[in-house]
Chains A and B, each alone.
Chain A
Amino acid sequence: MASEPRVIVVGGGLAGLAASVRVAEAGVAVDLFSMVPVKRSHSVCAQGGINACTEPVRQEGFSEYDHFDETLYGGDFLNHQPPVYEMTHWAPRIIDLLDRMGVPFDRTSEGFLDRRYFGGSVFRRTHFTGASTGQQLLYGLDEQTRRYETQGKVTKHEFWEFLWPVVDPDGVCRGIVAQDMRTMEVKSFRADAVVMATGGCGLIFGKSTMSVICTGGAASRCYQAGAWLGNPEMIQVHPTAIPGEDKCRLMSESARGEGGRVWLPGIQDENGDWKPHPDAGRHPNEIPEDERYYVLEEMYSTYGPTKRHGNLVSRDVATRGIFFAVQQGFGIGGGKMAYLDITHLPADTKEKLAAILEIYEKFTGDDPRHVPMKIFPAVHYSMGGLYAIYETEQEPKPKFLTDLLPDDAGQQKDPSKPAHPGMVQGSHYNMMTNVKGLYALGEVNFSYHGATRLGANALLSCIFDGLFCGLGIANYAREMAKHDAAADVDAAVFDAVVKQETDKSDRFIATVDAADEGVNPYELHRKLGEIMTEELTVVRTQEGMKRALDIVRGYIADYQNIKLGDQGHWTNQNLSFTRALGDMLIYAEAMLLAGIDRKESRGCHYCSDQDGRNDEKYMKTAVCQYDPATGQHAVKWEDVPIPLIEPRIRDYGGKKKETKVTVKPELATAADPGEDRNNPDPV
C-alpha cells in the first residue's frame, strides 16, 4: 500500500541539517533526531573556514580542478575521486547559498567575501566568519531547518538518542530505535530511508578536540547491525591544540593561515643545524629571534610562495614535524609543547582570530596577542567511518557499483557528452551504506578525505553531502513509499529491536544493585583513550598496534563486568555513556585491526616500521565487516578506483623525502615528483 514517504535523519550537525533542508525542500517529511538541541551540535566548534574556488580565487589561478587535485593529494590518494570531484565543483555554489542564507561571512573593503590561506594549498581559497565559521554555518542551516519545522515538514526529536537501525529480514533499513534521554522511553520509528549524520569518534581517544558526544557510538551500532566501516584506522591528529584535563582545545589552522608561526626554542651550530636550547626556562618573549627554531618553515622551506608557507603543509605532515622535534628535545621547557605565535600580526588580523584567541585566553589565562601560545598535537577528525557507495558514469567502476547496484546503474545518461566525472545527481545510491536504505553523510562518511583531510574541507563535505545526496535520498524514499513502504512492514520487525534495546538497558540498570565491585565505565574509558592515543595516533608500529589490540580485547572482556552508579529512570546519563563505551570498544578494535593490516605509511597512518607508501598493495579501502554472532571482525581490501587523477608522490617541499612510495608498475611515470605543480622544485 502506498503511503506518504518519510525520512529519518539522525544527527543535526551540518550534514544532518543540510540533508533535512534538502529532503524537506524536495517535499518529503523529515524526522530529525539528535542527542542535543541541533543548534548545539559539534559542528558549532569549527573555527577556521570553508574552502571553495569562488570567482576571485579563480582569477588568482586556482580552479575547481586544483581543489579536487589538492584534496586527493592531501588524502594521499585514498579518497574516492568522483565524490571529491563533485564536491569541489559544487563548493562555490555552496558558498553562494550560505551567503544567501545570511551567514555573516567576513567581507573585503568593497563588500565581497573575504578569504584566508589554509593548510594544504598555496591559494587563498578559504572563506570564513571570524574564527567561528562552523558556528555561523550551523546557525544558518539551523535557521532554515526551523523554518521547515514551523511548516510541519521537519519534526525534531531533540534529546533523543539513536540506539539501533531497524533492518528487515531482506536487509533493508526500515527505521530506527531511539531513546528519549529525559524519560528514558525506548521507541521505534519507521522511515523509508534513514540517514546517519552522527559525526566523528574522537572520544575513543579519550581527549580530543571534539565535543563530548562524539563517541562514534552511533556508527558502531550500525556497524554491529551489518553496515561496513571504511578505513577506520585513518584518524587525524591536528598539529595545534591546547592540551587540557577535560579536552584538548583546538587552535585553528586559521592562526597559521593568517600568518601565525610555529617555533621552538633552539640554537644553531656552526653547520647551521638546529639543537635544543640548553636554557629551558626562558619566557618566550625573552627568546631572541635567532634562537627560535621555526621547525615547519625549516623543514618545508620550498612549499608555497614564501618560506612561511611551510607552516601550512598538510596536517599529518605538520603534526609529525612538531612531534619529532619535541621528541628530539626541542619542546618548551623540555616538555611536550611548542609555540604557536601570532604576536607579530597586525591588530586587525588578530581581530579576525578573536574567537579562538578568546578561547585561549579564557582557558589558560594568558593573552595570546602578547604571549606566544603553547600548543601540542591532538586527535581531531575521523577520515574513516561508515562505508558508503555512490553512482558514477566513470570507468573504472568501483567494485560496489557492480556488486551492490542494479545492472543499469552507472550507465551514461547523455551519450552525446563525455561521461560525467562526478556522481550522478539525484541517484538513490549516493552515500548509501552497504545496507539498503541506510545512508551515511558528513564526518561519519568515509568517502571524501582519504588518509588525511585538508583544513576547511570538512565543513564543505558535510554541507555538500547533505545538499547533494539529499535529493537522491528523497527520491529513494518516495520510490519505496510507493511500492514497498516502511509503513507496511510487520510490527514484529520493529518490536524485536525495541526488545533488544530495552533488555540491554535493563541489564545495565541491574548492575547498580549487584553485590560485586564491577568495572567503572569512566575509568575504563580513560584507559581506552590512553592506549589508543599511545598506539594509533602520530607514529604507529606493528608491535604497538598489536599490543593495543590485546589490551583493547582485554577491556572488551572487562566491559562484561561494567557497573553503573545510577538507577535513575529519568535522564540517566550514566546509562547512555556506558552503552556508548561498549560501542566505542568495538569500533576501537576495528580501527586497530585495519591499522595492523595496512602495512604501509600513508597520510596520517604513519608507520615507522614500514617502508613508505605502497600503492601496489594498499591503494585500497580497508573494509571492516562485523559478525554479531561471533563478535569477529573481517578486514577486506577493496581497490580505490582511479578514474581521473593518477596517484603521485606526496611531497610538501620537504628537505628530505618523508616517505618512499611504491607505485603500481603501470603508474611508474605518473609518480614523478617533478610533476607536482604546487611544488615545482622539491629538494
Chain B
Amino acid sequence: MIASNKPEKFTVRIKRQDGKDQPSYWQSFEVPYTANQNIITVLQQVAANPVTTDGKRVTPVAWDCGCLEEVCGACTMVINGKVRQSCSCLVDELFTGATNQTISIEPMSKFPVVRDLFVDRQRMFDNLKKIQGWVPIDSTADLGPGPRETQDEQHDRYAISRCMTCGCCLEACPQFTKDNDFVGAQVIAQALYFNEHPTGAQLKGERLDVLMGPGGVTDCGNAQNCVKVCPKDIPLTEAIAKVGRQATVHVVKQFFTGKK
C-alpha cells in the first residue's frame, strides 16, 4: 500500500523535553520519504542526522522501543493527536487521504516524561501489584496439570492476556490523570483475567476490595474511550462492567456473611 500522493520529503514535528520536570519544546525535522516507512524508521532517520529544519544540529531524540512488531508495548506515543504504537504506525497510512503531510509526535501526556518521547509507566506495573495480578501457585514443584478450561473460557482469558501494558487506554481515558489515583481500564481488565482463573480466584475478594476502594472501578465514567484506542482489541468496557458486577456481588456477600 503506497499513498498515491506520496511526497519526496516531509516534516516531522517532535515535542521534546531534556529531562524529568524540564520544560518541553517543539522541534521540526525534514525526513526523506521511503517505502514502508514507519514512525520508528522516521525517528531513526532523525537520529542519524539530527539537524532541525532551521539548520541547527541538536541532540538526538530519545524514545522507547523494543520488539518493533507491536507486542512489547514500549513504543507508545501520541502521533498526529492519536495515541498508538509508533512501530506499527506506517507513514503511508497517515498520509493516505490526508491533506496535511506533516507528522507530529508527542510523548504520552498522562505519564511523567523521562526524556523526549520516553515516559515512565511504572504506575501501571505498581497497579498490577496492588490487585495481586498473579495466580497463587503452591510452588514450582511438579504437582500435575492445572485446572481444565473450556475453549470459551480460554478464549475470554486469552483476549485479556494480550494486554501489553502499553498505556493507550489510560492516555485516552478522561478519568485517568497524572495526579489522581484512578487505576484505569488496563488493570481492571487484568483483575478480571485473574478472577476468572480457578486458582487465581482465590484472591478475588482481595482484588475486588482494592477495586471498590478509592481510584477503583466506580471512578470510571464509562466514556468508552479506552476500548476504542486499545491496539489489542481488549474488551475493556465489558471487563469493567463484569468487575463492577463482581464487586456488587462481593459487597452483598460480605453484608450477609459478615466476612471480608
Contacts and interface: CB of A to CB of B under 8 A. Distances in A.
A170 to B, nearest CB: 33
B146 to A, nearest CB: 4
A363 B69 contact: yes
A113 B148 CA distance: 9
Contacts of A321: none
B199 A37 contact: no
Nearest to A93: B142
Max chain A CB contacts within 10 Å: which of B115, B128, B140?
Answer: B140
B165 interface: yes
A45 B164 CA distance: 11
B68 A246 contact: yes
B69 A100 contact: no
B4 interface: no
Interface stretch (B43-51, B176-184, B220-228): B43-51
Interface stretch (B149-157, B235-243, B245-253): B149-157
Given A244-B36, A522-B47, A96 B146 contact: yes
Given A39-B165, A136-B161, A568-B18, A100 B143 contact: yes
A566 B60 contact: yes
Category for how many chain B residues contact A: 35 or more
Given A362-B70, A568-B115, A146 B129 contact: yes
B95 interface: no
Given A363-B90, A523-B48, A570-B18, A45 B71 contact: yes
Contacts of B128: 143, 146
Contacts of A149: 129
B48 to A, nearest CB: 5
Contacts of B118: 571
Contact of B142 (A41, A96, A108, A112): A96
B216 interface: no
Contacts of B70: 359, 362
Contacts of B107: none
Interface stretch (A127-135, A382-390, A400-408): A127-135
Given A40-B72, A45-B67, A104 B142 contact: no
Given A100-B145, A245-B41, A566 B200 contact: no
A660 to B, nearest CB: 39
A629 to B, nearest CB: 35
Nearest to A207: B68
B68 A249 contact: yes
B146 A107 contact: no
A445 B152 CA distance: 39
A109 B150 CA distance: 7
A25 to B, nearest CB: 6
A132 B62 contact: no
A111 B148 contact: yes
Interface in A134-191: 135-136, 139, 143-144, 146-147, 149-150, 182
B158 A129 contact: yes
Interface string B83-97: 000011010110000
B69 A22 contact: no
Given A39-B165, A149-B129, A246-B38, A44 B67 contact: yes
B99 to A, nearest CB: 21
Contacts of A568: 18-19, 59, 62, 115
A618 to B, nearest CB: 36
A211 B72 contact: yes
B145 A146 contact: no
B44 A246 contact: yes
A146 B161 contact: no
Contact of A211 (B34, B68, B150): B68
Nearest to B129: A150
B151 A109 contact: yes
Interface stretch (B5-13, B23-31, B130-138): B130-138
A147 B134 contact: yes
A139 B161 contact: yes
A100 B37 contact: no
A24 to B, nearest CB: 10
A565 B70 CA distance: 28
Contacts of A262: none
A96 B158 contact: no
Given A107-B150, A245-B41, A97 B140 contact: yes
Contact of A111 (B35, B150, B164, B199): B150
B1 A365 contact: yes
B111 interface: no
A36 B74 contact: yes
Contacts of A113: 145
A212 interface: yes
Nearest to A96: B145
A108 B74 CA distance: 33
A212 B129 contact: no
Given A36-B72, A44-B72, A363-B69, 20 more contacts: A25-B140, A36-B66, A41-B72, A44-B66, A102-B197, A104-B158, A107-B151, A110-B148, A111-B149, A144-B134, A150-B129, A182-B114, A182-B115, A249-B68, A362-B90, A363-B38, A520-B48, A568-B18, A568-B59, A568-B115
12 contacts: A39-B125, A102-B197, A104-B161, A130-B158, A150-B132, A212-B66, A245-B36, A247-B69, A364-B1, A467-B140, A565-B60, A567-B59
